[in-house]
Amino acid sequence: MATSRDSRPFILIIILLLLINSPEPQQQSFATRPRYDHTIAREWDALDVLNRTRYGDFDGEHGHWLNLTGFRENDGLAWQLLAPVQQRAKEQTVGLLGVQAEGALTGSLDESSYSAVYRNVTGFVQGEWARSKIGHDSPAPLLNLSAIAPDSAYPLADYDRNLTGGSGNVRIHFTELGDRTRANVNESISEISARIVIGEDTSMGDWWEFTLHGVHFLKFGGVVLTTTSEKFAGIFALPHFTITDHLYSISQELLNRTVHDTITRQESRSYPTWNPWSSAVDGTSESLFPAPHCEYIIYLQQHPVHINRPSKQYPISNPYFMGLIEDEMRYPTGSPLPNPSQLSMSMVAFSPDCGFVIESKGPPEYSPTEASHLKGLKLEKFMDGARRSTLAFAAVLALQVILVVRQMKEASTPSTRSRISFYSIAVLALGDGFAFLTLIFVHLYLNTSLLALYATAFLALFSVVFELRFLMDIWTVQATERRRQERQEASIHPAATSPGVSLSNVPQGTQPTGPIDSAAGVDTLPLPVTASRRGVDTGVTSIILPPDQDEDATADANTATGTTGSTGPVSTRIELGTLYTRYCLILIVTFFLTLHSTSWPTAARSIYSNLLAFSYLSFWCPQIYRNIMRNCRKALRWDFVIGQSLVRLMPITYFYAVSDNIIFSENDYQALLVLFGWVWIQILALVSQEMVGPRFFIREGWAPPAYDYHPVLREDEEGATMPIGSTQTSEEESGSPSTTMPGESKEKGKKIFDCTICTQDIEVSVIPSGGSAESNSGLGGNILARRAYMVTPCRHIFHTPCLEGWMRYRLQCPNCREILPPL
The secondary structure element, H or E, covering residue 195 is strand 189-200
Q: What CA–CA distance (Å, rounded) separates 343 from 337?
A: 17
Same domain, yes or no, for 113 and 136?
Answer: yes
Most confident of 478-487, 762-771, 789-798: 789-798
Boundary residue ending a domain (353, 372, 391): 372
Per-residue confidence at 748, pLDDT binned at 50, 70, 90? low
Write the pLDDT tens digit of every residue in 492-532: 655 544 444 444 444 433 444 444 444 434 444 444 444 44
pLDDT band at 563 (very low <50, low <70, confident <90, very high): very low
* Average pLDDT of the residues in 301-317: 70
Pair 680, 821 in one domain: no
Report the pLDDT averaged over residues 340-367: 93
Domain holding 815, by residue range, is: 708-730+738-823
Instruction: Indicate whether 21 pLDDT > 80.
Output: no
Closest by CA to 215, choosing from 280, 295, 278, 299, is 299
Domain assignment present for 72: no
Q: What is residue 98's predicted lDDT score, i.e. its pLDDT?
A: 82
Quote the number of domains for the chain. 3
pLDDT on residue 138: 80
Between the alpha carbon of residue 96 and those of residues 215, 221, 303, 344, the distances in Å are: 19, 10, 6, 11
More reliable by pLDDT, 536 or 86: 86
If asked whether residues 596 and 448 sit together in one domain, one would say yes
Task: Give a yes or no: residue 782 inside a domain.
Answer: yes
Confidence of residue 730 (pLDDT cuts 50, 70, 90): very low
For the segment 619-647, the average pLDDT, to the nearest whole number, is 91
The arithmetic mean of pLDDT across residues 358-381, rounded, is 91
Q: Is residue 12 situated within a structural domain?
A: no
247 vs 748: which has the higher pLDDT: 247
My answer on whether 440 and 521 are in the same domain is: yes
Average pLDDT over residues 283-300: 75
Residue 668 vs residue 270, higher pLDDT: 668
Mean pLDDT across the stretch 722-736? 49
CATH number of the domain at 759, please: 3.30.40.10
> 718 and 761: one domain?
yes
Inside any domain, residue 560: yes
Residue 747 is predicted with a pLDDT of: 60
Q: State the Cα–Cα distance between residues 91 and 301, nearest whole angstrom.
A: 10
Same domain for 423 and 355: no
> Do 104 and 225 share a domain, yes or no?
yes
How does pLDDT run across 649-684, given as a tens digit for each residue?
A: 999 999 999 988 888 888 999 999 999 999 999 999
Spell out the residues 6+ positions from residue 234 whose beta carbon is closer than 8 angstroms to its own.
70, 226, 227, 228, 277, 295, 297
Helix (H) or strand (E) holding 378: strand 374-378
Let me know whether 367 and 391 are in one domain. Answer: no
pLDDT of residue 156: 57
pLDDT score recorded for residue 303: 93
Q: Are residues 145 and 292 in the same domain?
A: yes
Same domain, yes or no, for 119 and 207?
yes
Tell me which residue of 463, 406, 390, 385 sits closest to 429, measured CA to CA. 463
pTM of the complete model beyond 0.85: no
pLDDT in tens, 786-818: 778 888 888 888 888 888 888 877 778 888 888
Confidence of residue 457 (pLDDT cuts 50, 70, 90): very high
Read off the pLDDT of each residue in 566-594 and give the average, rounded to a whole number.
82
pLDDT classification of 351: cutoffs 50, 70, 90: very high
For residue 822, is it within any domain? Answer: yes
Is residue 256 in a domain?
A: no
Cα–Cα distances (Å) from 671 to 596, 613, 644, 653, 683, in that order, read: 22, 10, 20, 10, 19
pLDDT of residue 285: 52
819 and 683 co-located in one domain: no
Q: Is residue 532 part of a domain?
A: yes
Residues 684 and 776 in one domain: no
For 697-713, write each residue's pLDDT tens digit.
Answer: 777 777 777 777 878 78
Mean pLDDT of the chain: 79
Residue 406 has pLDDT above 90, yes or no: yes
Q: What is the mean pLDDT of residues 431-451?
A: 82
442 in any annotated domain: yes
pLDDT in tens, 600-615: 888 899 999 999 999 9
Q: Write the pLDDT tens digit of every residue in 179-227.
A: 655 677 677 899 999 999 999 987 777 889 999 999 999 888 999 999 9
Burial zone of 807 (CB within 10 Å; 0-12 exposed, 13-18 middle, 19+ buried): buried
Judged against a pLDDT cut of 80, whether residue 239 lies above it is answered with yes
Give the integer Cα–Cα distance in Å for 420 and 238: 67
In this predicted structure, what is the pLDDT of residue 85? 95
The mean pLDDT value for 281-307 works out to: 78
Cα torsion for 419, 424, 425, 431, to the nearest 10°? -170
